[in-house]
Structure formats: structure tokens, C-alpha cells
Amino acid sequence: MEQDIKLEVVRIHKLDGSSPTKAFCDLSVFGSFVIKGLRIVEGEGGLFVSMPREEGRDGKWYNTVIPLKREVRDAVEKLVLEAYGG
């Protein structure tokens, strides 16, 4: 699947401090558009990538980018964590 989709990390902003959010990341897809606001988060099982999200009128948070295939989600997570250095 990875050869079918062209992904590139265009920016990583690492954060200092003890927050579970360790960095923010922007991702280029096919060199044609950028997804802004992916987060690198320290969870109980280690680092993972959280998709961009926004708060709804009901106060709950909703992802604004949703990979439809597990292979794409895995490729994004692998690329972002490698770029982060984790």
C-alpha cells in the first residue's frame, strides 16, 4: 500500500514539558495537499499518532481526517514516528 500513496512529513514541532502531546506534525499527501495538526502522543503503550480533530457543539472532539484503510493509517503512523525520532 505504501507505494500507492505518496506521504511526506513537511513539518514537526516538538513540544517541551510533561504533556502527553509530544509534537504536532503536518503531512503532505501526493505533493498536492497538506494535512495539518496530526499529534504525536505518549500513551500507556508508547507513542502513537492522533489525527487532527475539532471540538463539536456538544463539547466532544471529532477527528477531521479519517483514514479509510488500515494500511494507510499504519503508513502514516510509521512515517510520522520515524520523522519524530521515536
Number of domains in the chain: 1
pLDDT of residue 5: 78
Domain range for 31 is: 2-84
Q: What is the domain-level CATH number for residue 34?
A: 3.30.1120.40
Give residue-wise pLDDT tens across range 9-55. 999 999 998 999 999 999 999 999 999 999 999 999 999 999 999 99
pLDDT of residue 2: 46
Nearest partner of 24 among 34, 33, 11, 6, judged by Cα? 11
pLDDT of residue 86: 58
Q: pTM value?
A: 0.85
Say if residue 1's pLDDT is above 50: no
Find the angle CA(81)-CA(22)-CA(49) to the nearest 5 degrees. 40
14 contacts 24 by C-beta, under 8 angstroms: no
